[in-house]
């Protein structure tokens, strides 16, 4: 066996171990006991909004339809210059559960969220984004999960809605892989990431970790860096929420440029991750990406190694995809993995080495 093929085989072995770890982690996260029926926990939904007038209607309708009681909705206007504030004020005038406040902290999502968390009446908090539409049972499901003591941090999934085209499939697939990594890490007891569009925790935990202190100047990180702080300080258990009433959908970006900028923003937090997390993610992605070179360098034996890697990854992805209703993407995963690899190889170095200045 010539030397490059040995290296590719070693990469496959390492990636196989990672895939086994991921599949087991998802299974462990799924095995988390379901919350027992309990009296309704008062819940405050907090949303930060800036120039969202064209996307607010679905969110308002979705939050109006929530079945949970008691519930309050706190929306923070982060200095909008379009019709966002007028829409929010009109909504609050017809729905007594809604309150609208201006951002009294630093400009940006973290300042707006901190303002909303401070203004909320209840300790149990659920966070989502202005372009999302949580299902009617979302608030009730999160409130039930926050009822036990000590209350956990609840990490939820935020998929993109299905639409025609390669861009939609690629964006959905990237989000699916991210969800698998997130759920597996939670299940294995090493949480490091979350979806800011679907996250719940007690306000007392937010205060225990001093909110967003330490990364307040970063554009993002209100989800993953916050979860890392909770885990590092042992402030609360962290669980992953499975179930159709917990998933919060939104529309995928409609341009490649828009999707790439969004992913740049998400990836930029990686430089602030703990060293062990950075190392694990680097090994996982590097072994996956390098195997695409195996057929070019080693011919048919290399192609066999790549095929084995794709089959192993699909096997690891299947439990999470089935759980969140995205099984159609597993069948397409070989082709979508190529798009994922190219996108990640292009964006990750730029995100980790550059400075993101625009949301």
DSSP 270: G
pLDDT tens for each residue of 143-162: 999 988 889 999 999 999 99
Give mean pLDDT, residues 86-104: 96
**Is there a domain that residue 260 lies in?**
no
Give mean pLDDT, residues 11-17: 96
Residue 98 structural domain: 32-165+188-253
Question: pLDDT band for position 4 (50/70/90)?
Answer: confident
The predicted structure's pLDDT at residue 264: 74
Question: pLDDT band for position 105 (50/70/90)?
Answer: confident
The predicted structure's pLDDT at residue 349: 65
pTM tops 0.85, yes or no:
yes
Q: Does position 335 have pLDDT exceeding 50, yes or no?
A: yes
Taking alpha carbons only, the member of 324, 250, 252 closest to residue 59 is: 250
The predicted structure's pLDDT at residue 352: 54
Mean pLDDT, the chain, integer: 91
Q: Does position 312 have pLDDT exceeding 80, yes or no?
A: yes
**Is there a domain that residue 134 lies in?**
yes
The predicted structure's pLDDT at residue 351: 54
Give mean pLDDT, residues 227-250: 95
**Is there a domain that residue 197 lies in?**
yes
Residue 214: which CATH number? 3.90.550.10
Assigned token pair, 286? 């590097």
Of the chain, the percentage scoring pLDDT greater than 70 comes to 94
Q: Which residue has the higher pLDDT, 150 or 21?
A: 21
DSSP 247: -
First-last CA distance in the chain: 49
The predicted structure's pLDDT at residue 348: 66
Question: Lowest-confidence range among 120-129, 275-284, 343-352?
Answer: 343-352
**Is there a domain that residue 136 lies in?**
yes
**Long-range CB contacts (< 8 A, 24+ apart) of 18-21?**
18/283, 18/284, 18/287, 19/312, 19/313, 19/315, 19/316, 20/316, 21/184, 21/188
**Is there a domain that residue 156 lies in?**
yes
Question: pLDDT band for position 52 (50/70/90)?
Answer: very high
Q: How many domains in the chain?
A: 1
**Is there a domain that residue 37 lies in?**
yes
The predicted structure's pLDDT at residue 63: 97
Q: How far is residue 180's CA from residue 317's CA, in Å, rounded to a whole number?
A: 7
The predicted structure's pLDDT at residue 356: 45
Q: Which residue has the higher pLDDT, 245 or 345?
A: 245
Give mean pLDDT, residues 311-333: 96
**Is there a domain that residue 109 lies in?**
yes
DSSP 37: P
**Is there a domain that residue 286 lies in?**
no
Q: Does position 113 have pLDDT exceeding 60, yes or no?
A: yes
pLDDT tens for each residue of 277-309: 999 999 999 999 999 999 999 999 999 999 999
Question: Lowest-confidence range among 43-47, 164-168, 234-238, 271-275?
Answer: 271-275
The predicted structure's pLDDT at residue 359: 42
């Amino acid at each position: 066996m010539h030397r490059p093929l040995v290296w590719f085989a070693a990469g496959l072995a390492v990636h196989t171990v990672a895939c086994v770890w991921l599949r087991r982690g998802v299974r462990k996260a799924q095995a988390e006991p379901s919350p027992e029926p309990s009296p309704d926990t008062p819940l405050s939904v907090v949303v930060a909004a800036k120039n969202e007038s064209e996307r607010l209607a679905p969110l308002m309708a979705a939050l109006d339809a929530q079945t949970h009681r008691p519930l309050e909705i706190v929306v923070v206007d982060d200095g909008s210059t379009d019709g966002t504030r007028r829409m929010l004020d009109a909504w609050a005038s017809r729905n007594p559960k809604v309150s609208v406040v201006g951002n009294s902290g630093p400009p940006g999502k973290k300042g707006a969220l901190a303002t909303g968390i401070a203004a909320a009446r209840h300790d149990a908090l659920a966070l989502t984004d202005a372009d999302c539409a949580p299902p009617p049972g979302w608030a009730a499901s999160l409130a039930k999960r926050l009822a036990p003591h000590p209350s956990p941090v609840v990490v939820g999934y935020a998929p993109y809605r299905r639409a025609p085209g390669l861009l939609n499939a690629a964006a959905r697939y990237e989000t699916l892989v991210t969800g698998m990594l997130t759920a597996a890490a939670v299940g294995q007891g090493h949480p490091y990431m979350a979806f800011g569009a679907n996250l719940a925790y007690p306000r007392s935990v937010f205060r225990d970790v001093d909110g967003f202190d330490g990364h307040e100047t970063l554009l993002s990180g209100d989800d993953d860096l916050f979860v890392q702080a909770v885990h590092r300080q042992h402030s609360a258990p962290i669980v992953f929420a499975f179930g159709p009433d917990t998933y919060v959908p939104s529309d995928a970006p409609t341009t490649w440029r828009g999707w790439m900028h969004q992913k740049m923003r998400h990836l930029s937090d990686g430089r602030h991750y703990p060293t062990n997390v950075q190392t694990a993610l680097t090994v996982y992605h590097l072994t996956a990406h390098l195997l695409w070179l195996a057929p070019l360098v080693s011919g048919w034996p290399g192609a066999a190694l790549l095929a084995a890697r794709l089959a192993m990854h699909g096997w690891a992805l299947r439990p999470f995809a089935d759980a969140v209703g995205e099984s159609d993407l597993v069948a397409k995963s070989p082709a979508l993995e190529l798009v994922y690899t190219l996108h990640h190889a292009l964006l990750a170095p730029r995100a980790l080495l550059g400075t993101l200045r625009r949301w």
